[in-house]
Copies of this chain bind each other. A is one copy, B any other.
Amino acid sequence: MAERRFTIADVARRAGVSKGAVSFALNGRPGVSDETRARILAAAAELGWVPNRQARALSTARASALGLVLARAPELLGADPFFPAFIAGVEKVLAARDQALVLQVVTTPEAEREGYRRLARDRRVDGVFVVDLRRDDERIALLEEIGLPAVTLNRPDVPSPFPAVVLDDRPGIAAAVRHLVDQGHTKIAHVAGPEPYLHAAARRQAFTDAMGEAGLDGRVVDGDFTAAGGRDATRRLLTGPDRPTAIVFANDVMALSAIAVAAELGLRIPDDVSITGFDDTDLAGYVHPALTTVRADAGGWGEVAARTLLALIDGPEDADVTDTALPPAELVLRNSTAPTPPTPQETQ
């Protein structure tokens, strides 16, 4: 194995032209006649020549790769169907263009910063996806500083020069609230995601807004997207005073753990308490009762994000790539929601 590969010089010799001509021909650049171009392409094909990416990278200063830095605790990643689907979408676009995806999984903020810095310093990637936006996200400034092109998933709350690919979570949550209100619920609570995340904040806001529109006042407690956090929050809600008859969770894992809490407290879902989730994980439709939840197209998000990032990188300096909006998240009705229990005044 590993016999010497052919180089551009071999192709040039075989086609009887110079190296430069070969380069022009292969990159579809003007400067060679159609006839010569054909001859060169034929020669390259006959030799089975493939360009050496490293050499090309050295002259063009292009990595032909995009980066993704994931700063999540492994247990959060493990249960989240978002990333696999997102990445699959990204790959669909990248594979066709001979681009690669460089992944970094980190756990601390320092490691995250260092991750982006390394990607830029080592010229590993030509651009990055910024996911899991946080309030006052310092990554925007960091990326500007190190001059690394980026695309953000949703719009940051700080000024950002980068294009955003927007998928609105809020309609899904709003629909969930409306659905519950329609069923007669008035005491509805929300178990939110971790404070700093913009998507958690958006879901929280959507909940509050939708409740307001219904003339209701909803309680919000903090969760952390983990099963343990979901259990604790749910327990607090269901054992505390003025128990809600419905809970809107910011993700499925927390909602799923609520099923256990309810069971332990002797409460039936949906008869005593209705719940909704967010993500539509594989399991959501296969628990008892099947979970009413909210679904977003993570794969599509990945595709569009990848295309946007590539356009930003390849495009001419001035061509400013604009934001794109995707179809918003939508409600998936299943069996974890039901009309309010008939006895509104249970003191218990």
Contacts and interface: CB of A to CB of B under 8 A. Distances in A.
Contact of A87 (B101, B105, B119, B146): B105
A299 B88 contact: no
A79 B260 contact: no
Contact of A79 (B114, B118, B281): B281
Interface stretch (A15-23, A38-46, A52-60, A318-326): A52-60
B101 A103 contact: yes
A282 to B, nearest CB: 4
B95 A111 contact: yes
12 contacts: A1-B144, A54-B54, A57-B57, A58-B58, A74-B84, A77-B88, A78-B80, A78-B81, A100-B102, A228-B285, A260-B288, A283-B283
A223 interface: no
B53 A122 contact: yes
- The quantity of this chain's copies bound in the complex is 2
A227 interface: yes
Contacts of A201: none
Determine the main DSSP class of A at the interface with B: helix
Interface stretch (A171-179, A182-190, A239-247, A251-259): A251-259
Contacts of A146: 1
A91 interface: yes
A137 to B, nearest CB: 19
Interface string A20-56: 0000000000000000000000000000001011110
Contacts of A111: 95
A231 interface: yes
A162 B5 CA distance: 24
Nearest to A232: B286
Contacts of A84: 72, 74, 77-78, 83, 105
Interface in A287-302: 287-288, 290, 299
Interface residues of A, number: 73
Contacts of A263: 288
A85 interface: yes
A283 B299 contact: no
B283 A253 contact: yes
B147 A75 contact: no
A227 B286 contact: yes
A50 B120 CA distance: 11
B85 A74 contact: yes
A145 B1 contact: yes
Interface string A80-121: 111111011001000100101111111100010011001101
Nearest to A55: B58
Contacts of A65: 102, 124
A314 interface: no
A91 B114 CA distance: 13
A54 B58 CA distance: 5
Contacts of A91: 104-106
A193 interface: no
A163 interface: no
A230 interface: yes
Contacts of A346: none
A91, A263, A264: which has the most chain B beta carbons within 10 Å? Answer: A91
Nearest to A146: B1
